[in-house]
């Protein structure tokens, strides 16, 4: 009897011990689950700087304050070897690639504009006449993401939280607001210049502009930037850029030279009024003003569902196109952008809470130096004379085929065939592609030529061929794709351009900062398509469907 009683006590104690252990493990598991659930940032902020080369981080570093770029690098994770993995490095493909985690070969945005084979006309990436403008009587608001073939990280966020998350996208440029917002954004806003000076949108997103947007437009904030643009610091301190007066910059209408100070109030009418702000750092300031108003009025980051604010600073690109990579104007624009980032971070700290949001900063493409400037330094470069090689090409077509009509359309770097004409001549498309490829390859400014057949039936995993294949979309790209020699562009004698597979266009910043992000840096290669899956991993949600990138493990805690 005593033995039975003793055994019962031992079993009872064992069960109690097991129960206590199980409860402890259960509580620990629940605690871990709670940590994982509550660790999500309240707000994701995506910052894209249009036309930002990586070396703008380092070249102007001595002039930056402690609260902008320096803060992000000091307290965040800096990917120093970050690149685009395709050749068409321009605004629309850049924004689409960052937010879908894929390349133009998948998301279909092969340029800002492209030739549509079905309608046989040029189309704009976000143009959509089936929707109406909001905030303007012009057609500037007739936009939507309908030409995007793949959902974005912002779409995945919205669906993950059953559409309870808010997504707001903002940029001076319409395409830079529409594409990041994806298909499900609550709102996308862009700036209508000319005589209006207003932030506008499309009925794709809403029936009417929110009151806070109308109030902002009526506040006179845009008009307050109608003032002289002079250098932030003494101009003789800008040793990281070339002379202020040189032949590689384009002056504003009404100016005698492209030099500081730029008296906007005096040249206002000659430069389409509010349109002028886009070509100055004040366009970036206005973007920050509006983004800060959105944070407050949309109550971003105020509940348990992660929100997303997409901001694209476009004026850097417009300044770069006018004045060039080596200009005092571009240096001053970045020094002022540094201050805008500080303003934005301080707003996020106060409204959302320091340590409660995650921000990343990158660019949609880089830029090359003005070819004339490179030639002056004896660096190989040049301007492509398209008219000159078009004349030679037409002679080739006439001599070999008896007609030039086998080419239906010519874009700068794409040739589209007229298949009916080729069939009527009894020719094989593949043979015509190859013959034309060999011909164009003999033209001086051309470095490489690819055929659609090559890109459809070959697989490249490195080099320029790989980048071209990631650019090629079978329904939208041409039958012939051209690549210029390094340092060559079909642009102008002034200002900088982009759109190549070379490092000056593909190497851009990528910095992660905030909740869930380690402090540090890496020189290992990262890809622009890695941003979306990294954010998906951070949030514990599905990756964008068409994504080709991988999470950057070193970034995440």
CATH number of the domain that residue 67 is part of: 3.40.720.10
Tokens 């008219």 locate to 387
Tell me, yes or no, whether 134 and 206 share the same domain: yes
The answer to whether residue 312 sits within a structural domain is yes
Q: Measured in Å, how far apart are the chain's first and last C-alpha atoms? A: 59
pLDDT for 2 equals 46
Range of the domain at 428: 385-444+446-484
CB proximity list for 96: less than 8 A, separation 6 or greater: 104, 107, 109, 148, 150, 179
d(CA 217, CA 364): 28
What Rg, from alpha-carbon coordinates, does the chain have? 27
The answer to whether residue 26 sits within a structural domain is no
Tell me, yes or no, whether 453 and 315 share the same domain: no
Tell me, yes or no, whether 273 and 303 share the same domain: yes
Number of domain units in the chain: 2
Tell me the angle at which helices 429-440 and 386-401 cross, rounded to the nearest 10 degrees: 140
pLDDT for 23 equals 52
In degrees, rounded to 5, the angle at the alpha carbon of residue 97 between the alpha carbons of residues 91 and 98 is 90
d(CA 143, CA 511): 30
pLDDT tens sequence for the chain (557 residues)? 444 443 344 333 344 444 445 455 554 544 444 444 446 999 999 999 999 999 999 999 999 999 999 999 999 999 999 999 999 999 999 999 999 999 999 999 999 999 999 999 999 999 999 999 999 999 999 999 999 999 999 999 999 999 999 999 999 999 999 999 999 999 999 999 999 999 999 999 999 999 999 999 999 999 999 999 999 999 999 999 999 999 999 999 999 999 999 999 999 999 999 999 999 999 999 999 999 999 999 999 999 999 999 999 999 999 999 999 999 999 999 999 999 999 999 999 999 999 999 999 999 999 999 999 999 999 999 999 888 888 999 999 999 999 999 999 999 899 999 999 999 999 999 999 999 999 999 999 999 999 999 999 999 999 999 999 999 999 999 999 999 999 999 999 999 999 999 999 999 999 999 999 999 999 999 999 999 999 999 999 999 999 999 999 999 99
Tell me, yes or no, whether 151 and 61 share the same domain: yes
Tell me, yes or no, whether 165 and 287 share the same domain: yes
Tell me, yes or no, whether 356 and 315 share the same domain: yes
The answer to whether residue 301 sits within a structural domain is yes
Tell me, yes or no, whether 539 and 462 share the same domain: no
Q: 301: number of CA atoms within 13 Å, CB side? A: 26
Closest CA to 49 of 327, 274, 341, 295: 341
d(CA 472, CA 479): 10
Tell me, yes or no, whether 187 and 117 share the same domain: yes
Count of H-run helices and E-run strands, the chain: 20, 20
Helix (H) or strand (E) holding 338: helix 328-348
For residue 113, CA distances in Å to 127, 283, 462 come to: 10, 23, 27
The answer to whether residue 245 sits within a structural domain is no
Q: Are 171 and 311 in contact (CB under 8 A)?
A: yes
Tell me, yes or no, whether 438 and 466 share the same domain: yes
The residues that bridge with 171 in the sheet, in sequence order, are 190, 312
d(CA 324, CA 216): 32
Q: Which 8-state DSSP code applies to residue 517?
A: B
Tell me the angle at which helices 153-160 and 91-100 cross, rounded to the nearest 10 degrees: 30
In this structure, what CATH number is given to the domain that contains residue 415?
3.30.1360.150
Tell me, yes or no, whether 190 and 134 share the same domain: yes
Q: Which residues are marked as active site?
A: 91
Tell me, yes or no, whether 515 and 450 share the same domain: no
């Amino acid at each position: 009897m005593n033995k039975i009683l003793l055994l019962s006590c031992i079993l009872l104690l064992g069960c109690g011990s097991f129960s206590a252990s199980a409860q402890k493990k259960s509580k620990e598991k629940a605690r871990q689950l709670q940590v994982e659930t509550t660790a999500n940032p309240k707000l994701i902020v995506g910052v894209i700087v249009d036309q930002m080369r990586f070396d703008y981080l380092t070249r102007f570093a001595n002039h930056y304050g402690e609260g902008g770029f320096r803060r992000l690098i000091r307290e965040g994770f800096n990917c120093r070897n970050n690149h685009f993995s395709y050749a068409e490095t321009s605004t629309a493909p850049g924004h689409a690639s960052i937010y879908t985690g894929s390349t133009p070969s998948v998301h279909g945005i092969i340029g800002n504009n492209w030739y549509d084979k079905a309608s046989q006309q040029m189309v704009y990436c976000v143009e959509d006449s089936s929707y109406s403008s909001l905030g303007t009587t012009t057609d500037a608001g007739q936009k939507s993401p309908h030409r995007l073939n793949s959902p974005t990280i912002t779409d995945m966020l919205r669906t993950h939280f059953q559409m309870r998350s808010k997504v707001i996208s903002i940029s001076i440029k319409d395409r830079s607001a529409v594409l990041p917002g994806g298909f499900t954004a609550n709102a996308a806003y862009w700036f209508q210049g000319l005589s209006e000076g207003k932030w506008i949108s499309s009925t794709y997103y809403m029936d009417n502009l929110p009151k806070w947007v109308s109030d902002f437009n009526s506040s006179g904030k845009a008009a307050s930037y109608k003032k002289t643009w002079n250098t932030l610091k003494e101009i003789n301190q800008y040793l990281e850029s070339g002379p202020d007066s040189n032949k590689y910059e384009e002056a504003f209408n009404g100016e005698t030279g492209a030099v500081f100070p730029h008296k906007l109030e005096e040249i206002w009418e000659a430069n389409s009024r509010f349109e002028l702000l886009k070509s100055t750092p004040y366009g970036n300031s206005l973007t920050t003003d509006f983004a800060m108003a959105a944070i407050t009025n949309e109550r971003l980051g105020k509940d348990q569902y992660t929100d997303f604010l997409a901001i694209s600073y476009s004026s850097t690109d417009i300044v770069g196109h006018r004045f060039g990579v080596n200009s005092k104007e571009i240096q001053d624009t970045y020094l002022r952008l540094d201050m805008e980032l500080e303003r934005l971070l301080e707003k996020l700290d106060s409204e959302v809470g320091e340590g409660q949001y995650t921000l990343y900063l990158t660019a949609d493409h880089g830029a090359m130096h003005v070819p004339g400037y490179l030639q002056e330094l004896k660096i190989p470069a040049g301007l492509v004379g398209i008219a000159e090689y078009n004349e030679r090409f037409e002679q080739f077509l006439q001599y070999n085929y008896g007609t030039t009509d086998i080419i239906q359309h010519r874009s700068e770097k794409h040739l589209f065939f007229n298949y009916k004409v080729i069939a009527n001549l009894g020719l094989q498309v593949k043979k015509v592609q190859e013959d034309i490829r060999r011909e164009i390859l003999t033209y001086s400014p051309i470095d490489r030529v690819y055929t659609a057949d090559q890109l459809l039936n070959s697989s490249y995993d490195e080099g320029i061929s790989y980048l071209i294949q990631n650019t090629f979309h079978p329904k939208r790209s041409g039958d012939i794709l051209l690549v210029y020699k390094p340092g060559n562009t079909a642009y102008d004698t002034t200002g900088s351009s982009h759109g190549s597979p070379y490092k000056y266009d593909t190497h851009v910043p990528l910095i992660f900062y905030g909740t869930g992000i380690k402090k540090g840096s890496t020189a290992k290669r990262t890809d622009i398509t890695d941003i979306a899956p990294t954010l998906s991993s951070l949030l514990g949600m599905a990756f964008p469907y068409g994504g080709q990138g991988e999470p950057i493990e070193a970034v995440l805690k």
